[in-house]
Structure 1
Amino acid sequence: MNPQRESRQLNGTGREPELRRPQNSSAITLREVLGRFPGWRIIDVTGGWVAFRVPLVSGDSGLSNVRCGATLAELAGNLQAESRLDKPRSPVTSN
């Protein structure tokens, strides 16, 4: 059984549930991932986590609109890798 999923609590506001960090644990929370990676919607699916970029980027941008991870920590790592690709590039100038 996944301890992250066991500690899920509904917040009573109609929003998606939030993961609570177990005491004495270094596990990352859903709130932390959402805070570190704005512009992504994250959902818990059977067998892992899926993040969807909002708004979507064009197919020729070289960026992903969907990233996945078996755990929330793995998803955070994948989103971190994606954010390195998403850094603004220096404009190309011609002389």
Structure 2
Amino acid sequence: MSAIHRLAATIETRKGADPETSWTAKLLAKGPEKCAEKFGEESVEAIIEAVKGDREKLASEAADVLFHLLVMCAARDVSLADIEAELERREGVSGIAEKAARG
């Protein structure tokens, strides 16, 4: 099992955890909107590091983005498996064609 799959599984188990003992449970308890806000903050931090060009800091911020993306999705009951299924559906489809199909 990959690190991202282990992370997604851990996030899923934190849904019912005590917000006083788990950062993930605390985020989830605040609701989907707060999870989305936190994802946005982390995304901006990753963008800043991408512009600066520091590979190590970008990798760290990208890990934060992935974590908060999975938390945000979990808050709306969208699993990593759901995301992977969508990626598989798009595999082999031109990005231009896929974007045009979305309208």
Question: Quick one: higher RCO (CA 8 Å, sep 6+), 1 or 2?
Answer: 2
Q: Normalized against structure 2, the TM-score is what?
A: 0.25
The structure with the largest helix share of the pair is 2
The structure with the largest strand share of the pair is 1
Q: Normalized against structure 1, the TM-score is what?
A: 0.27
